[in-house]
Structure 1
Amino acid sequence: MPKGAELIVDFLVKEKVPYVFGICGHGNVGMLDALYDAKDDLKLISPRHEQTAGHMADGYFRVRHEPVATLTSCGPGSANMVMPLALAMTDSSAMMAITANVPTSQFNRSPFQEINGHFQADFPSVIKPVVKRSFQPTRVEMLPLALRQGMQTMLSGRAGPVQIDVPYNLFQESAEVELEHSQPTRLNARRSGANEEDVRTAMDMILAAERPVLFVGHGVTLSEASEELTAFAHRLSIPVISSPNGMGTLDMEDPLSLGFIGRNGSYPANEAGRRADLVIVVGARFDDRSASSWLKGYSWNFPQTKLIHADVDHAEIGRNYAPDLPILADARTFLRQLLSEIDRRNVPAGPRLEDWRARTIDWAREWEAFVGPKFEMHASPIRPERIVHDCQRILPSNAIMTFDAGIHHNWFMQFWKARNPASMLNSWGFSGMGFGPSAALGAKLAAPDRPVISVCGDGGFTMVPHVLCTAVEYNIPVVWLVWNNFAWGAIRDIQYGQFEGREIGTAFYSGDDGQPYNPDFAAWARASGVAAKTVTRSQDFAGALEEAVKANRPYLLDVHVDADIRPPSTGSWQLPPRPHKEPAFGKPYFAGA
């Protein structure tokens, strides 16, 4: 009769899950014993903090579109998973979070680390808001069904994390039970398509439009629809705007790529968005940052602009803008249907929408004339534009970049040109710090032959510096580029812009002399066994980055960046009730005014 832990391990092996990222505790030691016997097929990697384990699983999935599991113990260990699960949930990233709980014989007796104020062993209530589904089997016989349903829930429809909450006696108890027969579950195994009538209506609207744009997001990335998106955009000469997690689904060097939209978007994207007569949204949502806080005329002009919104998640269709044509469909399937409809109608090949495309090209030239010269400037501390420029020049097109939340991310959203899908991993929907430095470890395990660079703020990196230990312990050759501007720069800029410069709690100062303060990140890295350099001159940055990538070992660059240079806003962002700011470049356009 198998033990519960053996059933879980056998299930993960049969599902071809290669890794468990987790940390030991008294509550899961019985599971660790089963992993010992399976270590040739299922490798345990133990970072120094559960938050990093969650972000590693998230990063792994975003690159390979295959899930891994996390393992945490009762109480604090699993509580540390709340933030990475929330981030994975909002960014549609799948992982199986196996959390231990108190033994069933002690339910409601308030043993060590039980949460029972409203219900026995109630830790799943902590996790429920940040997972697609929470399962709590209380007998070994319940494990096979929970595991199968959990894996299917994670990977069906809009991907996301699930929790399997296991009372720790189940790991060592046995029962006469077998795993349910099933083939390994895969993302995109079930694809929904639009009905034929909606496809025809969509094509009528698209061919009638004079100023259409595509807005694509993570749904296109997860659906692996880059080829179809590129073919469709080229076939009908439609410009493409990308959300951060959709960047690279159309090569951003392509003339049809306009970049990101919103406050820190590109000028061509915002101009096209607010002047379009039709927006075709595929696998994206209108959050406040990609919609200039829904302020009309700053990024979009609905309802004067017609809207086709296709998404695999019905909850996102119409959440913020009522579509003229709502379509519940997988991104790749819908794009293939549109391509087939083009062929069915014998739409003439060749360039279309010449006037509209000429306007987008003019906007791109205006934008380049405004920002271009700054990318070539040398300075100490280094101008932010120079870092983006040299990263673009030095890194190969297949490099994977991970980002934390912060001012550094704003610069890369605005100016980075991703060449491939799933090559720009962003902490977007939940904007959690610590994601970038941690997710880079999972991304490198998912793609060992590709360079992985974490661009992370000094504040965010200081939250998870133990990633250095994990990289050394497991020989994971990640490069961390610490954007060292001696501040919580993005929030300090809000204080400067909206609170008359009344800075408090956002700059890092030495208590003794009031000078800017940070630890010596390079020394910290070297103390951990990681190669490191400090870079203060822009002339030295490109060479240091090239050396770090070629070293093929864990490497940290402490890069001193000018904190007083800010990304030029081209849209807006409002923090109610504070009034919104006008764009620094360009101005809103109000359709029908």
Structure 2
Amino acid sequence: MKGSELIADYLVEQKVPYMFGICGHGNVGMLDALHARRDKIQLISPRHEQCAGHMADAYFRVKHRPVATLTSTGPGSANMVMSLATALSDSSAFLAITSNVPTSQMNRAPFQELYAHNQADFPNVLRPVVKRSFQPSRVDMLPLALRQSFDTMVTGRPGPVNLDIPYNLYQEEADVEVPPKAHTLGLHRPAASNADIAAVVALLKDAHKPVFFIGHGATLSEAGPALTALSQRLGVPIITSPNGMGCVPADDEMTLGFIGRNGAYPANQAGRHADVILTVGTRFDDRSSSSWHAGYSWNFPKTKLVHVDIDPQELGRNYPPTVGIVADCKVFCEQMLSAVNEAQIDSGRFASWREQVIAWQKEWEDFIRPNFSTISTPIRPEYVVGQLQKVLPDDVILSLDSGVHHNWFMQFWKPQRAQSMLNSWGYSSMGFGVCGVLGAQLAAPDRPCVAVVGDGGFTMTPYVVCTAVEYNLPCVWIVWNNFAWSAIRDIQYGMFGGRELGTAFYKGAQGPGGERYNPDFAAWARAAGADGVTVTRSEDLAAAVQQAVRNRRPCVIDVHVDAEVRPPSTGTWQLPPTPFKEPLFGKPYIA
């Protein structure tokens, strides 16, 4: 078999339906093998390699099955760094097949070889942003590399893997067979020990104010039903990271939302006042811990911590756990449900705690709810979030880009299903939401897929509309148009005396006080063959979104949003050495 045939057949064997990639002289030998198998695996070719990676990442987040990307030598593969870093940061998996110079030319400085430190050295470019990189140098090395690549991607904590292929391997032949199928996600699920479960039960028996804190690990293990049953059995509230949202019922009064500076007030209050935190499949990064300042989101070590994660490196990274457990989140929750029932823990012991949490929920609702119905031009951010929550179907997949709009959705969006709110959380990559919606639509062709993206992020990656038109993908992009890199502009305003430079868009480089500028995004969409609508009045938003979803066509909705309204902070966040700000709503509490 040719190397390219072996690769293609293995992807088919693994039931990979798509390869997202862009042609180049370095991978053209692979394209012929894909052409011969185009009834079994489809090549989807976006207009930029970064987009291919984000599409594969989003596909995995929705489907929990990895697909592959294909890039050429040199710049094409270098464009994958952003999307690989995004996937690695959020524990998302795909196989990044990069191409390299022929083995006979290695270390001779042929076209697009990196050779200053080692021949064909491109895998070292990707080393920090992948779980593992493989570089077979002969066709007979491919079977093992392919199987190990798939095993590595989905075993333990998922992550992207790089398979770097010298050009000649696509065309050269060897007497090889397609290797056996690799593992599938979820086949191997480590459990907590009996001693660890007993220790957690003992903590719960002594607790008066316990809280769950869940993240992407819970989503990846599909622990939602077990988590819901466990929290309802105990009557214990749940705080969710953005990548954990949707795992548990969003409308339940014990689902408190996100924590940290742009979290919900009840979540920060529960974190501050809890005596036991059961953290399942998430980590304490700076944004979900108010930059680790005691009393703003958490009160460790006075608060006892149970930290459960499939990756042992995450245990104790920022807060030493009282009980640290390496386990699959779903298995742990099922074990705990049995143990809680056996121990006959009475949920009534937490009744006063639940009443306190409900009171915080009401305080928060009384504070925020009036702005959700405010009619204004430009449109208030809360109104946009509220209208989308009303008019988008429950099965919508929301693909969110990095930007100030994401802060509003972290704070207020209530996804109705798991794997339906896609965020670039760990790496906060602009372009993920813009491109990822394409992969989400391929993963769930019958569901509406809507991207809410900033004007800055959309302008970075506008070619996505071309891909949607080419492949008839009915994605909708809602551009949060505030004529600025608004999240960074707000940092300038808040931390540097209101001076602004390089964070807002002005015509003719006029600078502050000049005429704000952005392209006509709706016209841009129409030029690409998609639908395009501009919304400047609150009253027109709902109908425009409903019509776009109903049409089942690619569509860009340019929504002019008020840049002067900022998310109400309920925790804090610090960029040292700049001083951190006090919460706008609520106040720290040190136990």
Mapped to 1, the partners of 2:289 and 2:351 lie a distance apart of 27
**Which secondary structure does the structure 1 equivalent of 2:183 belong to?**
coil
Supply the AA of the counterpart residue of 1:162.
V
1:206-249 alpha-carbon deviations (Å, 9 max, x no partner):
12210000000000000001000000000000100000000010
Supply the AA of the counterpart residue of 2:239.
I
Match of 1:457?
454
Alignment of 1:283-322 (within 5 A): 283-322=281-320
Question: Which segments of 5 or more consecutive residues in structure 2 lack a partner in the other structure?
Answer: none
Match of 1:197?
195
1:127-177 alpha-carbon deviations (Å, 9 max, x no partner):
010000000000000000000000000000000000000001000000011
Maintained 8 Å contact 2:74/2:113 = yes
**Which secondary structure does the structure 1 equivalent of 2:585 belong to?**
coil
Maintained 8 Å contact 1:572/1:582 = yes
User: How far did residue 347 of structure 1 move?
Assistant: 3.7
Identity, % of aligned positions: 62
Mapped to 1, the partners of 2:6 and 2:543 lie a distance apart of 51
Mapped to 2, the partners of 1:118 and 1:518 lie a distance apart of 44
Match of 1:50?
49
1:149 maps onto 2:148 in alignment: yes
User: How far did residue 419 of structure 1 move?
Assistant: 1.3
Match of 1:519?
519
User: How far did residue 205 of structure 1 move?
Assistant: 0.6
1:62-108 alpha-carbon deviations (Å, 9 max, x no partner):
00000000000000000000000000000000000000000000010
197-206 or 453-462, which deviates more = 197-206
Task: Decide which of 383, 390, 394 is 1:393's aligned counterpart.
Answer: 390
1:543 maps onto 2:543 in alignment: yes
User: How far did residue 343 of structure 1 move?
Assistant: 2.6
Match of 1:233?
231
Match of 1:569?
569
Match of 2:99?
100
1:395-423 alpha-carbon deviations (Å, 9 max, x no partner):
11111101111100000000111111111
Match of 1:409?
406
Maintained 8 Å contact 1:483/1:559 = yes
Mapped to 1, the partners of 2:320 and 2:456 lie a distance apart of 39
**Which secondary structure does the structure 2 equivalent of 1:583 belong to?**
coil
Mapped to 2, the partners of 1:401 and 1:253 lie a distance apart of 17
Alignment of 1:300-379 (within 5 A): 300-348=298-346, 351-379=348-376
**Which secondary structure does the structure 1 equivalent of 2:465 belong to?**
helix
Match of 1:430?
427
Supply the AA of the counterpart residue of 2:580.
H
Match of 2:556?
556
Match of 2:23?
24
1:168 maps onto 2:167 in alignment: yes
Mapped to 2, the partners of 1:90 and 1:531 lie a distance apart of 34
Maintained 8 Å contact 2:208/2:349 = no
User: How far did residue 204 of structure 1 move?
Assistant: 1.0
**Which secondary structure does the structure 2 equivalent of 1:289 belong to?**
coil
**Which secondary structure does the structure 2 equivalent of 1:511 belong to?**
helix
Mapped to 1, the partners of 2:13 and 2:174 lie a distance apart of 20
Report how many aligned residue pairs link the two structures: 588
Mapped to 1, the partners of 2:348 and 2:343 lie a distance apart of 17
1:46-71 alpha-carbon deviations (Å, 9 max, x no partner):
00000000000001000000000000
Mapped to 1, the partners of 2:415 and 2:572 lie a distance apart of 24
**Which secondary structure does the structure 2 equivalent of 1:214 belong to?**
strand
User: How far did residue 185 of structure 1 move?
Assistant: 2.8
Supply the AA of the counterpart residue of 2:445.
P
**Which secondary structure does the structure 2 equivalent of 1:335 belong to?**
helix
Mapped to 1, the partners of 2:589 and 2:417 lie a distance apart of 32
Alignment of 1:217-228 (within 5 A): 217-228=215-226
User: How far did residue 346 of structure 1 move?
Assistant: 3.5
Mapped to 1, the partners of 2:200 and 2:349 lie a distance apart of 18
1:494 maps onto 2:481 in alignment: no
Mapped to 2, the partners of 1:112 and 1:210 lie a distance apart of 66
Maintained 8 Å contact 2:2/2:174 = yes
Match of 1:587?
587
Maintained 8 Å contact 1:15/1:185 = no
Supply the AA of the counterpart residue of 2:115.
N
Match of 1:242?
240
Maintained 8 Å contact 2:431/2:457 = yes
Mapped to 1, the partners of 2:445 and 2:203 lie a distance apart of 44
Mapped to 2, the partners of 1:180 and 1:448 lie a distance apart of 30
Match of 2:532?
532
1:301-357 alpha-carbon deviations (Å, 9 max, x no partner):
000000000000001010000000000000000001101112322445x64411100
**Which secondary structure does the structure 2 equivalent of 1:401 belong to?**
strand
User: How far did residue 186 of structure 1 move?
Assistant: 1.1
Mapped to 2, the partners of 1:133 and 1:338 lie a distance apart of 33
Mapped to 2, the partners of 1:201 and 1:158 lie a distance apart of 24
Maintained 8 Å contact 2:10/2:179 = no
Maintained 8 Å contact 2:147/2:180 = no
- C-alpha change, 1:260 and 1:512, in structure 2 (3 Å) is closer
**Which secondary structure does the structure 2 equivalent of 1:453 belong to?**
strand
Mapped to 2, the partners of 1:351 and 1:229 lie a distance apart of 19
What TM-score comes out, normalization by structure 1 length? 0.98
List structure 1 segments (4+ residues) > 4 angstroms apart after TM superposition. Answer: none
Task: Decide which of 434, 440, 444 is 1:443's aligned counterpart.
Answer: 440
Maintained 8 Å contact 1:237/1:352 = no
Mapped to 2, the partners of 1:375 and 1:346 lie a distance apart of 43
Mapped to 2, the partners of 1:479 and 1:185 lie a distance apart of 35
CA RMSD of aligned residues (A): 0.8
Supply the AA of the counterpart residue of 1:327.
I
Mapped to 2, the partners of 1:439 and 1:263 lie a distance apart of 26
Alignment of 1:261-272 (within 5 A): 261-272=259-270
Mapped to 2, the partners of 1:196 and 1:263 lie a distance apart of 37
Mapped to 2, the partners of 1:229 and 1:323 lie a distance apart of 20
1:114 maps onto 2:93 in alignment: no
Mapped to 2, the partners of 1:343 and 1:359 lie a distance apart of 25
Question: Which segments of 5 or more consecutive residues in structure 1 lack a partner in the other structure?
Answer: none
1:352-405 alpha-carbon deviations (Å, 9 max, x no partner):
411100111111111111111010100010000000000000011111101111
**Which secondary structure does the structure 1 equivalent of 2:149 belong to?**
helix
Mapped to 2, the partners of 1:303 and 1:41 lie a distance apart of 54
Supply the AA of the counterpart residue of 2:502.
G
Match of 1:15?
14
- C-alpha change, 1:351 and 1:539, in structure 2 (3 Å) is farther
273-282 or 202-211, which deviates more = 202-211
What TM-score comes out, normalization by structure 2 length? 0.99
**Which secondary structure does the structure 1 equivalent of 2:478 belong to?**
strand
Mapped to 2, the partners of 1:203 and 1:398 lie a distance apart of 36
User: How far did residue 24 of structure 1 move?
Assistant: 0.1
